[in-house]
Amino acid sequence: MRYSPSVGQELRRIVGRDYVIDNHNDLRIFERDGSIEGAMPDAIVLPASSEQVADVMFVAAKNRIPVVPRGAGTGLSGGAVTIYGGIALQMSRMRRIIEIDPIAQTALVEPGVVNQELSLVAARHGLFYAPDPSSQKACTVGGNAAENSGGPHCLYYGVTTNHVLGMEVVLADGSLHWVSGDAPDRTGLDLCGILVGSEGTLCAITKVKVRLLRVPPSVATLLAAFPSIETASQAVSAVIGNGIVPAALEMMDNVTVGAVEAHYHAGYPTEAGAVLLVEVDGIAESTRELMAKIREILAQSSGFAMREAQTPAERELLWAGRKGAIGALGRIKPNYYLHDGVVPRSRLPQVLSAVGEIGIHYKLPVANVFHAGDGNLHPNILFDMRDRGVLHQVEEAGEEMLRAVVELGGALSGEHGIGLEKAAFMPWVFTEDDLDAMQRVKAAFDQQAILNPGKIFPDATRKPVRLAGRSGLALEAKWW
Q: What is the pLDDT along the chain (480 residues), one digit of tens a residue?
A: 689 999 999 999 999 999 999 999 999 999 999 998 899 999 999 999 999 999 999 999 999 999 999 999 999 999 999 999 999 999 999 999 999 999 999 999 999 999 999 999 999 999 999 999 999 999 999 999 999 999 999 999 999 999 999 999 999 999 999 998 666 566 778 899 999 999 999 999 999 999 999 999 999 999 999 999 999 999 999 999 999 999 999 999 999 999 999 999 999 999 999 999 999 999 999 999 999 999 999 999 999 999 999 999 999 999 999 999 999 999 999 999 998 999 998 899 999 999 999 999 999 999 999 999 999 999 999 999 899 889 999 999 999 999 999 999 999 999 999 999 999 999 999 999 999 999 999 999 999 999 999 999 997 665 433 333 333 332 333 322
Rounded CA-CA distance 273/146 in Å is: 36
| CATH fold for domain 218-328 | Alpha-Beta Plaits (3.30.70)
**155 Cβ contact partners less than 8 Å away, ≥ 6 residues apart:** 245, 246, 247, 248, 249, 371, 373, 374
| CATH fold for domain 333-479 | Alpha-Beta Plaits (3.30.70)
CATH, domain range 97-214: 3.30.465.10
**What is the per-residue pLDDT for 186?**
64
pTM comes to 0.92
CATH, domain range 5-90: 3.30.43.10
**What is the per-residue pLDDT for 466?**
33
Would strands 106-109 and 97-101 be described as parallel, antiparallel, or unpaired? antiparallel
Rounded CA-CA distance 257/274 in Å is: 8
**267 Cβ contact partners less than 8 Å away, ≥ 6 residues apart:** 223, 261, 307, 317, 318
**What is the per-residue pLDDT for 461?**
62
Please report, as a single letter, which amino acid is at residue 287.
T
Instruction: Give me the residue spans of the domains in the chain.
Output: 5-90, 97-214, 218-328, 333-479
Q: Do 97-214 and 333-479 show the same overall fold?
A: no
| Torsion on CA atoms 252, 421, 479, 161, rounded to nearest 10 | 150
Q: What is the number of alpha carbons within 13 Å of residue 407 lying toward its C-beta?
A: 13
**212 Cβ contact partners less than 8 Å away, ≥ 6 residues apart:** 100, 105, 106, 107, 122, 125, 127, 128, 129
Helices (H), 166-311: 191-195, 229-241, 254-264, 284-300
**E strand or H helix at 12:** helix 5-15
Rounded CA-CA distance 382/338 in Å is: 9
